[in-house]
Chain A
Amino acid sequence: MLQSWGVQLMTMLTVTLSVLIFSFFFLIYTNMIHVGDKIGGELRLIVYLESELGPQQQDDLKKKITSFRKVERIVFISPEEAFAQLGKQLGTDRDVLEDLDASFLPYSVEIYPHKNLKDLTHIKEFSDYLENLPDTIKVQYGHGWVERFGYFTKLLRFVVIISGFLLILTTMFMVSSTLRLTLYARQKELKVLRYLGATNGYIEGPVLLEGFTLGVLGATSGLFALFFLFQWIKSHFSGPGLMNLFEINFLPWPYCAIILFCSVLFCTFGSLLSIRKFLKI
């Protein structure tokens, strides 16, 4: 058995690495979602209108908007309200508005879209649609990069799924082929054990345990590696700047538990695969 220690270690490191890769992308993804929620919360489209709309026209416009896409809410803003808002935003500088009156501001509608990935990534289309409505002068929406952010998150989700698949494949494949190697080396012994009446359980037990142990050790060290990587990134990139916007958090422990559990499950299953052909009598 001793000569196979190197192989066992390699297998464990492979498990570690795949867990690290997967959980790294997953960590970024969960944080992006978190940031997405924040941005989505502030996100709105502002449609500037030609003129004031009566209640009937307001209803018509609402229908037109919602017929294109369901939204969270629609708020009609009069120039006076817009003026008050502007004043609030300016804070101590509000005296620049002193000589002005509200009438220079147009009537507008604020549209708050649903905060999901699909609506975020398709916000441009929505804005184009609104632009072409008869009453519209102009459409403004918060940050142009919201859309790109949406796409990026989507891409990331894809990467997470792919690396998840890789995690499953590598752990199962590596564990089962490593154990198969050690089983080949022990083939003669297994044969003798069978002649002595060793049950499937007797032969399977240690192999399953080995797969299980590889899974536990590999996944735990993968998660620990992620944690240290996370700490390192946090200490190097936090401070003033863009990173402050994204307050990154580590994976919540139930996710870690699930990752650990699944890796152990796949490793154990892999070890079961390796032994099947050795159980024939």
Chain B
Amino acid sequence: MQENTMEKPTFTFQPTPEDISTQTGAVMVELVKVTKIYPPDVVALRNVSFTARRGEIIFLTGASGAGKSTLLKLLCRQERPTKGLIEINGTDINKLKSAATQRLRQNIGVAYQDFRLLPRQSVYQNIAMAMEVQFKSVKEIRQRVTELLDKLSLIEKRNKPAGKLSRGEQQRVVIARAVANAPPLLLADEPTGNLDSNTTLLVMGLFHELNESGSAIIIATHDKSIYEGSNHRQFELHQGEITQIT
């Protein structure tokens, strides 16, 4: 099993004296009254406060346009909040300089709703890229990517250009890229939107495996099948406002 050989995922972007992210249950993500307004006047998030702890799985639900993607984009500093505080691992990410931002991003795996794959690069290369930017060894990259391709039943597609894949296949490539480095925080935006129920199970299996090794996972989804009946916390966004369901 993978998690036995994997190191415990830990934030490395700003080591604190006692690295809180290694303690199960420690606060990993904290949003305090966060508002995001897209210019000129689209209020995507309104006074959102929310906490995610280490080793937790959280489901974000809500109608289309409710602000789920926006919330995830704020966490990986792809968008900046208009108001409010966002702390990750105890650090205000708004104050991060360029180099620290890149280190933060290396610690967060993101499966984008719009994929952001490089269509002309092979499936293998698209996944490997996430590890290459962290200067992982060629051997380690090959092992990990092959393992992920296997787990997501993409192994025959490994040399195909990502642009030539079906939506569902592309979705799995994005997920593989996001989990490749076993990040301490994983953000998955609509990860099962294009998948059949069997493949959904594969992906959720991968997420649970990562979670058991200590990663926190935030999943934005419409897919009832993955959150109904689970004992994980669920938040609903409604026109930019957040409410905890369970």
Contact with B along A189-200 (1 / 0, CB 8 A): 101111111111
Q: Cβ of B129 and Cβ of A197 under 8 Å apart? A: no
The verdict on B133 contacting chain A, using a C-beta distance below 8 Å, is yes
**Which size class do A's interface residues fall under?**
10 to 19
Min CB gap A82→B, angstroms = 81
The verdict on B134 contacting chain A, using a C-beta distance below 8 Å, is yes
Min CB gap B104→A, angstroms = 7
Min CB gap B177→A, angstroms = 8
Min CB gap B123→A, angstroms = 14
Q: Cβ of B102 and Cβ of A194 under 8 Å apart? A: yes
Candidates A195, A200, A202, A281; contact of B116 at CB < 8 Å: A195
Candidates B98, B99, B105; contact of A196 at CB < 8 Å: B105
Provide the bound-state CA to CA distance between A189 and B117, in Å: 9
Residue of A nearest to B105 (CB): A197
Provide the bound-state CA to CA distance between A191 and B107, in Å: 17
Q: Cβ of B118 and Cβ of A189 under 8 Å apart? A: yes
Candidates A189, A191, A195, A198; contact of B76 at CB < 8 Å: A195
The verdict on A188 contacting chain B, using a C-beta distance below 8 Å, is yes
The verdict on B216 contacting chain A, using a C-beta distance below 8 Å, is no
Q: B residues within 8 A CB of A281?
A: 98, 101-102
Q: A residues within 8 A CB of B76?
A: 195
Q: A residues within 8 A CB of B104?
A: 197
Most buried by A among B76, B117, B118: B118
Q: A residues within 8 A CB of B102?
A: 194, 197-200, 281
Min CB gap B20→A, angstroms = 21
Q: Cβ of A196 and Cβ of B133 under 8 Å apart? A: yes
Q: Cβ of A192 and Cβ of B129 under 8 Å apart? A: yes
Chain B count of residues within 8 A CB distance of the other chain:
22
Within 8 A of A (CB), among B67-92: 76, 78
Q: A residues within 8 A CB of B177?
A: 196
Provide the bound-state CA to CA distance between A195 and B113, in Å: 14
The verdict on B33 contacting chain A, using a C-beta distance below 8 Å, is no
Min CB gap B182→A, angstroms = 14
Min CB gap A193→B, angstroms = 6
Contact with A along B117-130 (1 / 0, CB 8 A): 11000000000011
Provide the bound-state CA to CA distance between A198 and B112, in Å: 17
Q: B residues within 8 A CB of A193?
A: 129, 133
Min CB gap A189→B, angstroms = 6
Min CB gap B160→A, angstroms = 18
Q: Cβ of A197 and Cβ of B134 under 8 Å apart? A: yes
Q: B residues within 8 A CB of A188?
A: 118
User: Can you report 23 residue pairs joining A to B where beta carbons are below 8 Å apart?
Assistant: A191-B116, A192-B116, A192-B129, A193-B133, A194-B105, A195-B110, A196-B105, A196-B129, A196-B130, A196-B177, A197-B102, A197-B103, A197-B104, A197-B134, A198-B102, A199-B99, A199-B102, A199-B103, A200-B98, A200-B102, A202-B133, A281-B98, A281-B101
Task: Spell out A's residues near B (CB within 8 Å).
Answer: 188-189, 191-200, 202, 279, 281
Task: Spell out B's residues near A (CB within 8 Å).
Answer: 76, 78, 98-99, 101-107, 110, 112, 116-118, 129-130, 133-135, 177
Q: A195-B105, A196-B130, A202-B135 are in contact. List 20 more A-B contacts (CB 8 A).
A: A188-B118, A189-B118, A192-B117, A192-B129, A193-B129, A194-B102, A194-B105, A195-B116, A196-B133, A196-B177, A197-B102, A197-B106, A197-B107, A199-B99, A200-B99, A202-B133, A279-B98, A281-B98, A281-B101, A281-B102
